[in-house]
Amino acid sequence: MSEREEHSKGGVYSVKGQEFSRDSRYIETRIVAEPRDGTDDYPVVPNRYRLIAAYACPWANRAIIVRELLGLEDVISMGNPGPTHDADSWTFDLDPGGVDPVLGIGKLKEAYEKRFPGYPRGITVPAMVDETTGEVVTNNFPQITEDLYFEWQQYHKEGAPNLWPGELREEMEEVMQRVYTEVNNGVYRCGFAGSQEAYDAAYDRLWTAMDWLEERLATRRYLMGDQITEADVRLFTTLVRFDAVYHGHFKTNRNKLTEMPNLWGYARDLYQTPGFGNNVKFDQIKDHYYIVHTDLNPLGIVPKGPDLSGWDTPHGRG
CA neighbor of 191 nearest in space, from 203, 208, 182: 203
Reply yes or no on whether 190 is catalytic.
no
CA neighbor of 9 nearest in space, from 248, 187, 271, 146: 187
Cβ–Cβ under 8 Å, residues 29 and 137: yes
H-helix or E-strand spanning residue 129: strand 127-130
- Between CA 61 and CA 238 the distance in angstroms is 10
- Between CA 51 and CA 81 the distance in angstroms is 11
* 182 Cβ contact partners less than 8 Å away, ≥ 6 residues apart: 205, 206, 208, 209
Cis peptide before 96 (omega within 30 of 0): no
CA angle 209, 215, 217 (to 5 degrees): 100
> If DSSP codes are grouped into helix, strand and coil, which group holds residue 234?
helix
Give the active site residue among 57, 112, 203, 266.
Answer: 57
CA neighbor of 141 nearest in space, from 129, 132, 153, 128: 128
> If DSSP codes are grouped into helix, strand and coil, which group holds residue 43?
strand
Instruction: Please state the length of the chain.
Output: 318
Give the active site residue among 42, 49, 188, 289.
Answer: 188
Reply yes or no on whether 55 is catalytic.
no
- Between CA 70 and CA 155 the distance in angstroms is 8
- Between CA 125 and CA 61 the distance in angstroms is 9
- Cα distances (angstroms) measured from residue 124 to each of 48, 56, 85, 305: 20, 12, 11, 28
Any idea which residues carry the catalytic annotation?
57, 188
